Chain A
Amino acid sequence: MAEPTAGTSLTRAAEGLIAIVLVLLLAFIPLVASTYLIRILTGIFLFVALASAWNLIGGYAGYADFGPTAFLGIGAYTTGILMTQAHMPFPLALAAGGLCAMGAAAGIGAVLLRLRGHYFAIASLGFMLVMEQVAANLEITGGGSGMNLPVARGFTPFYYWMLTLALAAIGTGALVPRLRAGYALGAIRGNQEAAQVVGVRPLPYKVLAYVGSALFFALAGGVYAYWFTFIDPPTVFDPDFGIQAIVMVLFGGAGTVLGPAGGAIVLKSLDILLTNTSGLLHNVFFGGLICVLVLFAPRGLVELLRAGRRHLPDRRRLQRSGAG
């Protein structure tokens, strides 16, 4: 913990100012940038939101959820169904999608979050695969043929939707450590049995984190569905969303506030660059990157930059404080 220095309040104010200027800048960009740039920035904001959301369950609670995309899909389809069948306006349908996902997360979370480590990971992935097939087998979703949402007027509004989501997710991540729930989650992540001994009931807090993550995934899914107009089960239940979010959080630093966002920005930008230059080897690079990251910087980029290059993570330290 850094000792408070004389200039703390000044630095805090400076940081706040930088944040506001940055947000204003981002809000201004669509007026001057090309549609391609708007599109890729929207994609980046999507992953900033997803990574920051996953950080709630994976970083703060220490539960590696491998199927968060289940909720992205739930949000996407709920929004889509309500817009096409009930002719709801988009914001309402989006909110409904979020609520639906929260309910589902509370329900399945109460069951799954009793598991630990590998078991929770595979069970959460299994839940996602089940939801994907459910969507493929229902009539109301259009089944395997997919579903068409109404065509939106233009692409720019989605930039702002995603930006708002990204900021909200980061904000939630900043808020949680200051709340009682944040302390409880930290205790649970460190040593769940010990936390129980001091009177923290783990399950409600874990479910809270899980539901929070699910909410943002669902909202992102709803925006995504309206943005791309056509959705089908493999697209919105694509494990890639979850995997990329996890790697971004790892890269940026799990359990930090800005780490996941930073990780998302850097990795998504790299991803776009790679896609454009080398199609076939794009995944090879990504796989190699993951391996290198895990082997040499498992605590993330933030940690690495903070500590300096000579201080590579100590395996034993990770063992004591790692998740699982």
Chain B
Amino acid sequence: MGIGTQIVLQDAVNGLLLGGVYAAVAVGFSLVWGVLNVVNLAHGALVMLGAYATYWFAASGHLDPLATLPVVGYALFLFGYGLQRFVINRVIGTSFLVTFLLTFGLQLLITNLALAWWTADVRSVTTAYSGWALTVGAVVVPAVRLVGAGAAVLMAAALAAIMRWTQFGMAVQATALDREAARLMGIPVARIYARTFALAAATAGMAGGLISLSFPIFPAMGTGYTLVAFVVCVLGGLGSVAGAVVGGFLLGLAQTFASAWVGPNYNNIVAFSALILMLVVRPAGLFGRAGHFRG
């Protein structure tokens, strides 16, 4: 196997693993957008909170990050529930600029409170298995990232299962299709919204926990992930969990290969040119249902 092929294969593996992270972040974002029609600009901040929670468990309690993942998820679930029920719910249904700005303000608040409280120190979660890697031929597959990508797919699958096979899930789908009709049918819309948002926040928090294993964390890290989530949702299609996963992997691959072939300084050009292209050619994304997207 030539060096060239080795590099390409390794880049492909890296791209997929990065895509796993992207998918984990995007799944919750897509859910909130598709159901509540809210573009949550504070989503990245929730990821950051999850990363820090994991870090504090590991640093002060010496608890393994993977073990504390469900706890972090639950904590973010509660936080997200409160956020939606008492703050965001007040602007549901108003112009999208209003919800956009509200979530932006929340993002600013959360990020800067984190900065004030935890300082700008860059932190990292290091475990005994941080450096483990599977070596398949000449290709190295970092164990932690593999677990992260796997967890992302699991989370997405669990979410899809909830949506399809539980009563809650059906209520959510009904509300997404037609809010007023759902309300008339007796579905407690406000509660459904709150629980959906909370679920999304939980996935964001867990994604943050997985991120803290592989990447350095700092209070301002959220914005980058929100943007990524946005691009992934457009690529993969709104309202589709599979879309978020596939979109995530696609973006991860595209960025990694662009970084390898053109240079790392082109990552935004790649991501957003892809986004604009997709919006022009197929606005519904790969898996989304076509709707009133064109102007």
Contact = CB atoms under 8 A, between A and B. Distances in A.
Interface of A: 58, 64, 111-123, 125-127, 129-130, 132-134, 136-137, 144, 192, 202, 206, 243, 246-247, 250, 280-281, 283-284, 286-291, 293-295, 298, 315, 318-319, 322-324
A5 B280 CA distance: 51
Interface string B93-108: 1111110111011111
Contact of B95 (A130, A202, A318): A318
Contacts of B101: 246-247, 250, 290, 293-294
A122 B238 CA distance: 14
B108 A116 contact: no
Interface of B: 33, 39, 87, 90-91, 93-98, 100-102, 104-113, 115-116, 227, 230-231, 234, 263, 265-269, 271-273, 275-276, 279-280, 283, 292-295
- Closest 4 interchain pairs by CB? A322-B95, A287-B108, A290-B105, A126-B272
B94 A315 contact: yes
B109 A287 contact: yes
Contact of A294 (B105, B116, B293): B105
16 contacts: A117-B96, A118-B96, A119-B283, A121-B39, A123-B272, A126-B268, A129-B227, A132-B268, A133-B266, A246-B97, A288-B105, A290-B104, A291-B106, A294-B102, A323-B95, A323-B96
Contacts of B234: 119, 122
Contact of A113 (B96, B272, B295): B295
A132 B265 CA distance: 11
Given A115-B293, A118-B39, A122-B234, A127 B97 contact: no
Contacts of B112: 280-281, 283-284, 287
A281 B112 CA distance: 7
Given A115-B294, A133-B266, 20 more contacts: A115-B293, A115-B295, A116-B292, A119-B283, A119-B293, A123-B272, A127-B272, A137-B265, A284-B108, A284-B109, A290-B102, A290-B108, A291-B109, A294-B101, A298-B94, A298-B95, A319-B93, A322-B97, A323-B95, A324-B95
B81 to A, nearest CB: 18
B266 A137 contact: yes
A280 B105 contact: no
Nearest to B293: A119
Best-buried of B95, B100, B109 by chain A (most CB within 10 Å)? B95
Contacts of B263: 137
A115 B108 contact: no
B116 A123 contact: no
Contacts of B294: 114-116
A113 B294 CA distance: 9
Contacts of A286: 108
B105 A111 contact: no
Contacts of A291: 87, 102, 105-106, 109
A133 B268 contact: yes
A129 B276 contact: no
A291 B112 CA distance: 14
B295 to A, nearest CB: 4
A4 B90 CA distance: 38
Given A114-B294, A295-B87, A287 B94 contact: no
B97 A250 contact: yes
Contacts of B266: 133, 137
Nearest to A132: B268
Given A117-B96, A118-B39, A291-B106, A281 B116 contact: yes
Contacts of A293: 101, 105
B105 A64 contact: no
Nearest to A136: B265
A322 B94 contact: yes
B283 A130 contact: no
Best-buried of B276, B292, B295 by chain A (most CB within 10 Å)? B295
Given A113-B295, A136-B265, A295 B91 contact: yes
A136 B268 CA distance: 11
Contact of B116 (A125, A284, A290): A284
Nearest to A117: B96
B105 A123 contact: no
A293 B234 CA distance: 29
Nearest to B107: A287
A153 B280 CA distance: 47
A116 B116 contact: no
A153 B268 CA distance: 38
